[in-house]
Structure 1
Amino acid sequence: MARIVITEPMDERAVARLRAAHDVFHDPHLVDDAPRLLQLAGGADALIVRNRTQVRGALLQALARCRVVGRLGVGMDNIDMDGCAARGMQVFPATGANALSVAEYVVTAALLLLRGAYQASAAVSGGQWPRAALSNGREVAGKTLGLVGFGSIGQTTARLARGLGMEVSAFDAMMDEDHPAFAQGGVRCAGLEEVLTTADVVSLHVPLLGSTRGLLDAARIAAMKPGAVLVNTARGGIVDELAVAAALKSGHLGGAALDVFEAEPQPAAPHFEGCPNLLLTPHVAGVTQESNDRVSGLIADRVLQALR
């Protein structure tokens, strides 16, 4: 019987499956108790984390007998992949399990931000009638969605967007124009600059790497189509948040939805105050009841298999 340590929230049904075969310690708040986490790590044969647990440095050193790390999500920037490999530790992400949740978030954000009429509840309930001011919203049908990154989430987003009548272009540094995913999804393969300058909605779906950190800087945001909407559900470090705020206030960007931030949890951010048509959410695009079931179940399966 192996020892499994789970440091962040995981669906209890998946935890119960793990407990049926192994000794499991699950504390959704363990990530916030570093001394206790380091102590428990020493006896762990498997570690299961979300995005906040940093599997590197002292924690990686403490995982003396760990054989497998399960990641309840797809981003791997909180895990030292080379360090895990050097120790013979397998790392399993929940690839594809939350793609639909993120894709629905992106398409919903595009609808909200292009239409621009869904934040009028307070005004209308207070006796105002801003019909004229809200009558210039835009439809998504016929607009172009530009995807930066065309993996599982990007492809699912493209499918939903095309169902609403959007045209879709995509750039992926790891895929050439002959990759079958483009033709299968009815998506036009384009260069990064073309995607950014021609899309009405730009959505980011790339990991945070040295090559993608600061990818959407002030210059690239300034090059975006006037009135375009930006959606970032990838990682905060990919986008210059100050430049986004400035572009919203100047009117160059028509809207922005940011689910991820350079620092998480996001501290007070005065630069976002007064930004029009801005949607901020706390890294929840990929987290729904259904996706949590899928993600947790998938990682439980992979950890159980690896421990056999």
Structure 2
Amino acid sequence: MTATNRQSRLFTTLAATVLLGAGLAGCSTGGSSSGAETGDEATAVKIGFINGANNEWGTCLENGVEAAATAGGVELLVANSDTDAAKETANIEDMITRGVDAIVLNTVSVDAMTGGIQKANAADIPVYLVAVVPEDLSGVLGATVVDLPGVGALAAGWIAEDAGDQAVDVAVVAGAPGAASDYVVAGFTGALPESATVVAEQPGMFNRAKAQEVAENIIQAQPDVDYVFVLNEDMAFGVRTALDAAGATEVKIVTMNGTEPGLAAVEDGQFSATVSDSAADLGARSIENALALLDGSSSEKVFQMPTTLITADNLDEATAFCG
């Protein structure tokens, strides 16, 4: 089937769903759900959503995807790659085998993403990306993105303002190497002032226990560290535990997400700042934008989500993280 014929069929399906008032589709974790049907004619568009992470961010992202799929009458198939590039490739192959009309992909690895896009293109299945986008957009349907380097730059900007002209040592507890984490860290380190020195950078793998262990190692090797940038709030709680246990209570943590526990930690001083975004909104917008591109009601391929630096002074400006 050519791309033109596939999209033509999708346009007809979506129009039928709207005109005939199809019912709402269910959702499944790692399985399939029955699409909406009216009589024996209209079948919902079938979208395969591949989540990259099995953590709070991934759960909230999936909540948004499922809500938008239900509202749009979409038959949704869900898989999770658990930050494993090989599993992501297998998930893409599985979605192709199951005959989805499009894949919405939250990648764990740029290399895996590239290979996955090639496999989907060969099967004439459009791919819509979540959070990360390649420079060459010719092989993808579109993307809903967070300005990941910009998120890192916001965190670095807060440190620059807080430190002033003082020379400071900074540590980074990154996420899983290979995709979003790399972009955030690059934006962060690139935006730090010359007076700030990155003395340590280790992956916490988006896992609180692992991040705590990493922080224990960092504070032992770098006892004079002044700031730690942590790539999500769940890990940041592990880092805070390690720092406090080592008596490094004065070390300031800057992190990202804007979850309810994270914002509470900013309010009570456990964290100094966080970059707020909404994983649920990101998921919902991704499904909505993918559908708009599939049915031809939009030609805008890349949509950017807003982010906000949050401190104790502007907590009310944070966006609801999980919807």
TM range (shorter): 0.3 to 0.5
The two structures have a TM-score, normalised by structure 2, of 0.41
Q: Counting helix residues as a fraction of each chain, which structure ranks higher?
A: 2
The two structures have a TM-score, normalised by structure 1, of 0.42
